Structure formats: C-alpha cells, structure tokens
Amino acid sequence: MRIITYNVNGIRSALKKGFTDWLKTDPADIICVQEIKANREDVPIADINAAGYEVFSYSAQKKGYSGVAILTKLKPDNVLCGNGIMQSDAEGRVIRADFGKITVINAYFPSGTSGEDRQTYKYQWLDEFFEYLNEVRKTRPNLVVCGDYNICHKAIDIHDPVRNKNYTGFLPEERAWMDKFFDNGFVDTFRHFNQDPHQYSWWSAFGGARANNKGWRIDYINVTDTLKPKLKHAEILPHIVHSDHCPVFLELKSK
C-alpha cells in the first residue's frame, strides 16, 4: 500500500499546475489531500477519475476554505466524513477510509496563524482530535494518520528553530502535543527511515524560501505502532511542485 499526503493549497489551482498529469504517473495507491478549497460540485472529479482515482471529499461549509479529500485506486470498505465535532466538521477537517484492517485518516489541522482566537481553537482541536483517535483505535487499531499537522515537532524539522520559537507551528505547547501523540503509540514514519536535517514539506511563498530550502516539516504520515512492522519506505518529494507544500510518501508492506 503506497500512501501520499499532500496539502494542495486549492485543488483547482493544483490542477492548473499539472496535478492531473502527476496523478497519471501512478505516484501512490491512496492520496490524501488537504486544503482543497472547493465544494464537491466544484472538484473536477472527472479529470481525477480519468487519472485512475476515485474521489471522496469533505468540504468546509465556507466556500473556498479548508476541506479534505481521499483519492484512491483501492476500493475502501467504508468512508466517513468528519469526526463528529461540530466546528471541526463545519471546517471540513477530517475524512476517514477503511481498507481491510487498515484505517486511513486524513486531517487538516488548524494553523493558528490568523490570530489568538484561532490559536486557542487550534489547542482545542488538538485535544479533541487526540480523543477522537483514541476512540477510533478501540475498534480500528491499525491507523494511518495523514495530513498537514501545521506543527514542526523538533528543531530538526524547521530551518531556523531559534528565530521561529515564538511562532505558531513551533510553539512549546504544540510541540508538547506532538510528544504526547507519539508517546501514545504513534510512529513518525519519515523519521523512522531518515534522520537527516533540512528535510521539509512546506516553504513560505516569500523571500525565495523554497529555492533556498528554508522550510518547515509540517506534513506527516504517522501510524500506530501496530503497523511499525509493515513500514517499508518513506520520503518527502520536494521536486513535486503544485503547491507551497510538497507530497510526503509512505509505503507499507503487503504482508
């Protein structure tokens, strides 16, 4: 099972930049995309179907905002939109698909960049999402949690940890939540294979950040430790450019 997570920063914008052509190269069996910024009727499903993927999407109530989707070549047994928490669901932040014994959860974490109120909500969302995952694990222990987490976990995950220590996305409280998350039986699949620095998944649009690799690793595919024996390969794909983010890839062994 090959899985990608990718914040496309607008699915229609990504399509104009060659996203469909990339899909036709068969980059993964399951592609979890965030920030689709489109209602279901505005998602160009026919183009994505033509590239070989079925589309399951969950949009925000506010047009042009947030939203998540799962593009898949594998037929899911079950798809659930939302996590049952009102504000998160109104913002289209979580979609889940079950494939046999494995459950893929695609989530777009709040960013907190637009002000104190949103940062407060980010902490609330993190706590609610943590409880949601624990509840799902009671019946579906093999989880793959994809998404734009909007958090750098450690200093190695950000190009300038000193200057960014007081910025949302690298605040002590956010990083402590990531500690709690991993201590609760999740594996950082990229770091499982790669301990090298300067590996990022998002770059600011300003100041030549991407060209100079001044980035942040905020996009993850993390799995429950029950799936650790199945981990085969993980990498970040910075050469794929349809967005200010890039895809993150994981391959699980079939047996």
User: For the residues of the chain, what is the DSSP string, one character each?
Assistant: -EEEEEE-SSHHHHHHTTHHHHHTT---SEEEEE---S-GGGS-HHHHHHTT-EEEEE--SSTTS--EEEEESSPPSEEEES-S-HHHHHTT-EEEEEETTEEEEEEE----TT-HHHHHHHHHHHHHHHHHHHHHHTT---EEEEEE-----SGGGBS-TTTTTTSTTS-HHHHHHHHHHHHTTEEEHHHHH---SS--SEE-SSTTTTTTT-EE--EEEEEEGGGGGGEEEEEE-TT--SSSB--EEEEE---
pLDDT per position as a tens digit, 63-109: 999 999 999 999 999 999 999 999 999 999 999 999 999 999 999 99
Per-residue pLDDT, averaged over 32-49, amounts to: 93
Indicate which CATH number applies to the domain containing 48: 3.60.10.10
Q: Looking at the whole model, is its pTM more than 0.85?
A: yes
Could you list the residue range(s) of the whole structural domain that residue 43 is in?
2-252
Is the pLDDT score of 255 beyond 80?
no
- Residue 115: predicted pLDDT: 82
In this predicted structure, what is the pLDDT of residue 231?
98
pLDDT above 80: residue 164: yes
Number of domains in the chain: 1
Q: What's residue 92's pLDDT? A: 97
- Judge whether residue 113 has pLDDT over 90: no
Active site residue 148: yes
Instruction: Out of 42, 77, 98, 148, pick the active-site residue.
Output: 148
Tell me the mean pLDDT in the region 19-42: 96
Can you give the pLDDT at residue 253?
A: 96
